[in-house]
Amino acid sequence: MTDAVGSIDMPDAQDEAPESSKKARKGGKRGKKGPFGRLALFYRQIVAELRKVVWPTRNQLTSYTSVVIVFVVIMIGIVTVIDYGFNQAVKYVFG
């Protein structure tokens, strides 16, 4: 049985590189910088990741916030009713 890549039973030999041909890296660019350089790199990476985020529009944010508030109010109501029921049951059982 084959797919677009090749046989499922026999993987392609070119996908795996021999371990002896890889050079061992001992830190690369990060290993040569001091603590402040690594900290600056960390913050640059944070900013780069935040630029990739798809931020919601104001309408989406309002909609999501409304849904969360309604859900929390419903859950508060359910927990209140259950708590009141348990309270009445305990009063009935223990007087």
Ramachandran quadrant class, 10 (left: phi over 0; alpha: psi -120 to 50; beta: rest): beta
pTM over 0.85: no
Asked if 81 and 74 touch (Cβ cutoff 8 Å), the reply is no
In this structure, what DSSP letter does residue 19 have? G
pLDDT tens across the length of the chain (95 residues): 555 555 556 555 555 555 555 555 555 554 567 889 999 999 999 999 999 999 999 999 999 999 999 999 999 999 999 999 999 999 999 98
Instruction: Report the alpha-carbon distance of residue 79 to residue 85 in Å, rounded.
Output: 10
